[in-house]
Amino acid sequence: MQREFSFPASFEESIDRALATYKLSLKDSKALAKCVLALSDYFIAKPDSPTPWNESWAQVAYLCYYLPLNSTRLTGLFAEADKRNFFAGLEHVIDFGAGLATASITLNERHKFSYQLIERASEPQQIIEKHFTQFPRQDWQRTFSAGRMKDGYKTLALFSYSLTELSDLPEWAYQCEALMLVEPSTQQDGRKLLQLRQKLLEKGYHVWAPCTHEGPCPLLTQSKTDWCHDRVHFKAPQWFLNLEAELPMKNRTLTMSYLLMRKTPPAPVTAARVVGDRLKEKGKDRQMICRGSDREFLAWMHKNKLEQEIPRGVLIELPPGLQKVSNELRVTEELTVL
């Protein structure tokens, strides 16, 4: 059982139309791959530098590679948010550090909010305005302040891969009802989100996902190395597979670290979330779960001859009476995935 997602099919036409301005198409796998490798090499050499939006190869790389990948990640996240009814009552979205507006154009496929896109670089705005017509010029802003907020009680502040460069959220963000924070699934970014989670709880926010509780995060308090991240499987179209065949990196699965938080409390969750992959050990298999402030694992003892593949990130129902040995819950029957 896999959590498999793809980016909206309507995006392909827009991407192909945009690539035509560079005299390219989605069929030009080798030429597109050269642009992707150039941008990858740039970020490896200059990890703290801003995206070189003025370079055509960077624009092409984002359009044909990073936009589809990031949109697919977010599609998986938005599906989880919809399961929790996270967007209920919201009407406005502030997309901070929007870049190519990947988060907003993907979310707009599911929810027709009003959008304010905050991006300092002019090139991404010009690309999206021309080829993704959902967001006209008046939706874009170079900077943002609280005075430009339409209604904080009905506003979602969306930060997709834009917190890495910040030490904290902008002050206006704390006036918003809802926060969606998505970051790379690295140890540094993941643990930074866990620290921010605690600060937001202290400011009166409630966790909607991925956490099923509001106690101290055991990955932060009981480990110096663990961090929380999710994974979805990428259902790639053929043109993307052809492009990927020209690249050294493959993306059959996509990972991310995220937080969904609101000032309104969520409905209680009695389930546990699977936050690790199944690990084979001597005499048993183990898989980390989260349901409170203790670091816990499901444990399948090999002698019971019971196997179950549970995807990272899903909620599971734990039957009553599970035997607990140390930090392990001994599984003796198939668990229900919610």
Residues 205 and 319 both lie in one domain: no
Residue 31 lies in a domain: yes
> What is the pTM (predicted TM-score) of this model?
0.93
CATH of the domain at 215: 3.40.50.150
Residue ranges making up the domain that contains 276: 272-337
Residues 91 and 222 both lie in one domain: yes
* 71-95 pLDDT, tens digit each: 999 999 999 999 999 999 999 999 9
Inter-CA distances, 193 with 143, 161, 167, 197, 226, Å:
23, 12, 11, 6, 12
Residues 135 and 283 both lie in one domain: no
Q: What's residue 167's pLDDT? A: 79
Residues 43 and 134 both lie in one domain: yes
Residues 93 and 149 both lie in one domain: yes
Looking at the DSSP bridge assignments, the partners of residue 179 are: 157, 261
Domain's final residue, options 237, 262, 287: 262
Residue 216 lies in a domain: yes
Residues 330 and 235 both lie in one domain: no
Q: What's residue 132's pLDDT? A: 83
Residues 218 and 276 both lie in one domain: no
Tell me the pLDDT of the chain (338 aa) as tens digits.
Answer: 678 999 998 899 999 999 999 999 999 999 999 999 999 999 999 987 889 999 999 999 999 999 999 999 999 999 999 999 999 999 999 999 999 999 999 999 999 999 999 999 999 989 888 888 776 656 888 889 888 888 999 999 999 998 877 878 999 999 999 999 999 988 888 899 999 999 999 999 999 999 999 999 998 898 888 889 999 999 999 999 999 999 999 999 999 999 999 999 999 999 999 999 999 999 999 999 999 999 999 999 999 999 898 999 999 999 988 999 999 999 999 999 98
Element (H, E) at 305: none
Residues 220 and 286 both lie in one domain: no
Residue 176 lies in a domain: yes
Q: What's residue 164's pLDDT? A: 75
Burial label, 42 (beta-carbon count in 10 A; 0-12, 13-18, 19+)? middle
Residues 183 and 286 both lie in one domain: no
Give the N- to C-terminal CA distance of the chain in Å, as an integer. 12
Residues 236 and 279 both lie in one domain: no
Residue 133 lies in a domain: yes
Element (H, E) at 143: none
Residue 267 lies in a domain: no
Total domains present in the chain: 2
Residues 227 and 331 both lie in one domain: no
Q: What's residue 136's pLDDT? A: 61
Distance in angstroms (rounded) separating the CA atoms of residues 330 and 303: 12
Domain's final residue, options 205, 235, 262: 262
Residues 187 and 327 both lie in one domain: no
CB 210 within 8 A of CB 230: yes
Distance in angstroms (rounded) separating the CA atoms of residues 211 and 272: 9
Domain's final residue, options 241, 262, 283: 262
Q: What's residue 49's pLDDT? A: 85
